Amino acid sequence: MDYKGWNDYELIYLFKEGSPEAYNLMFRKYKTFIISVARKCGVRFESLDDYLQEGLIMLDKSLKTYNESLNKTFTKYFELVVMRRFWRLRSKDVYYDKLENDLVSTPSFKEVITEYKTCVKDKEDQDLLIEYFYYHTSIAELSKKYKISKTSIYKRLNKIKQNLAIEFDIYPKR
């Protein structure tokens, strides 16, 4: 069966009726769409298969949760769902995570931070970094302790992570 003779609404109706052919047609129809959305989100070629699988899972969920009465096309609804999922996955791929995981797992984390005073010059920033990554203190608690807004703490931690990533050469080779 070829999906080109069917529109989304017919396939969704057949899917909700339990037709396995409709299910397979939707997967084949949206496979290239999922890959193009992944590329728009900046997914590297090596990770494309993983994101394709995630996209197919999101397609399955979207087919089950799509509501025609909201006057949105299925394609736009699915695009929103899959883009949100890809952005969430991409945010977990951030290269700073390597920095956090590698440094926290070393027993001499405090010594490493104090050794690189060129990256973390301010004593308060050193304390923020140690409390946040080593002791896993929440942003809200840090905000109360240092009497700084949560936004300021996020900004300071991101700046510290950027400086450390540059110092430790964490950025990937492209």
- Name the residue range of residue 58's domain: 3-92
| List of long-range contacts for 14-22, beta carbons under 8 Å, 24+ apart | 15/63
Mean pLDDT, each 10-residue run in order, the chain (174 residues): 69 83 84 87 80 90 85 86 87 53 48 57 78 80 91 86 66 44
* DSSP per position, 103-158: HHHSTTHHHHHHH-TTTS-SHHHHHHHIIIIIS---HHHHHHHHT--HHHHHHHHH
Q: Domain check: are 43 and 106 in the same one?
A: no
pLDDT for the residue 122: 78
Q: Domain check: are 83 and 122 in the same one?
A: no
Q: Domain check: are 157 and 120 in the same one?
A: yes
Q: Is residue 174 part of a domain?
A: no
pLDDT for the residue 82: 92
Q: Is residue 107 part of a domain?
A: yes
- Spatial distance between the Cα atoms of 168 and 147, rounded to a whole number of angstroms: 30
Q: Is residue 150 part of a domain?
A: yes
Q: Is residue 72 part of a domain?
A: yes
Q: What is the CATH number of the domain that holds 13?
A: 1.10.1740.10
- The total number of structural domains that make up the chain: 2
30, 62, 92: which is the final residue of a domain?
Answer: 92
Q: Domain check: are 61 and 121 in the same one?
A: no
